[in-house]
């Protein structure tokens, strides 16, 4: 797997590791107290949806469930509809919003999430994604919010799935997919598609200074 990251400096890899650490160690308990739960679908990973739906049904304080569409070019793509979500356990449909248009990349998912947040007055969210992919989605959504000039608490919610579980679309496990995710993070940062390390640091300074109670104790 080392050859996947050839061409990047040790300093670049350290910067990515710092970003991954500070994002993925945000207190996940805060996800129990947010306004909205957001799911970025893809790779045939139905467990992203079932994990989110379990949390949505168990926590009536959540006001919104946003489900971003996936890539119809994937062999495992399934159209996201309320009927489909009901087969996965969805019962509470008030506050559920689905991205109608296809989203062949994470950037399109992020743009839709930002639009939904602003249109519906959402004040905080938890982002439910498989662990290997969560950091890249988080950085992409954060960049979209940064571009819009909008900030809100955004809590990572890693989906509960063993890392040696084969992903339906490719058959690869999280162990095999992480190097590719790191490579994409490095390349996409250079292209301006993801939040940079400086933007992450500024955002987390704001988050901890303005929303420490949410992160530590839940809402007052």
Over residues 22-32, the pLDDT tens digits come to 999 999 999 99
* pLDDT, mean over the chain: 95
Rounded to the nearest 10°, the torsion over CA 27, 155, 142, 160 is: 100
Q: Average pLDDT, stretch 172-196? A: 95
pLDDT at position 2: 52
b/e per residue 30-64 (b: at least 16 CB within 10 A) = bbbbbbbbbbbbbbbbebbbbbbbebbeeeeebeb
Q: Average pLDDT, stretch 204-218? A: 94
Question: What is d(CA 197, CA 161) in angstroms, rounded to the nearest whole number?
Answer: 28
CA of 66: how far to CAs of 40, 123, 209, in Å?
A: 9, 13, 27
Identify the DSSP state of 67. Answer: E
**Residue in 74, 73, 75, 39 with CA at minimum distance from that of residue 56:** 39
Which percentage of the chain shows pLDDT scores above 90?
95
Query: What are 85-138's pLDDT values in tens digits?
Result: 999 999 999 999 999 999 999 999 999 999 999 999 999 999 999 999 999 999
Query: Predicted confidence band at 6 (pLDDT cuts at 50, 70, 90)?
Result: confident
**Residue in 196, 82, 76, 203 with CA at minimum distance from that of residue 140:** 196
The arrangement of strands across the sheet holding 36-40 comes to: 96-98, 64-68, 36-40, 125-129, 154-158
What is the pTM (predicted TM-score) of this model? Answer: 0.95
pLDDT of residue 220 exceeding 60: no
Query: Predicted confidence band at 5 (pLDDT cuts at 50, 70, 90)?
Result: confident
């Amino acid at each position: 797997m080392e050859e996947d990251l050839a061409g990047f400096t040790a300093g670049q890899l350290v910067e990515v590791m710092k970003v991954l650490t500070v994002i993925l160690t945000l207190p996940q308990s805060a996800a129990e107290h947010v306004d909205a739960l957001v799911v970025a679908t893809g790779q045939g990973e139905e467990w992203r949806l079932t994990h989110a739906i379990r949390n949505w049904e168990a926590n009536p304080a959540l006001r919104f469930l946003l489900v971003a569409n996936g890539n119809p070019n994937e062999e495992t793509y399934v159209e996201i509809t309320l009927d489909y979500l009901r087969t996965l356990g969805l019962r509470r449909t008030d506050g559920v919003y689905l991205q109608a248009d296809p989203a062949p990349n994470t950037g399109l998912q992020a743009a839709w999430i930002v639009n939904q947040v602003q249109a519906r007055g959402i004040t905080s969210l938890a982002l439910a994604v498989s662990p290997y992919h969560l950091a890249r989605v988080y950085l992409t959504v954060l960049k979209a919010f940064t571009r819009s000039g909008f900030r809100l608490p955004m809590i990572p919610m890693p989906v509960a799935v063993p890392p040696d579980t084969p992903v339906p679309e490719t058959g690869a496990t999280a162990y095999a997919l992480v190097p590719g995710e790191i490579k994409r993070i490095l390349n996409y940062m250079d292209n301006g598609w993801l939040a940079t390390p400086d933007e992450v640091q500024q955002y987390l300074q704001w988050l901890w200074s303005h929303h420490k109670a949410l992160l530590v104790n839940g809402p007052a």
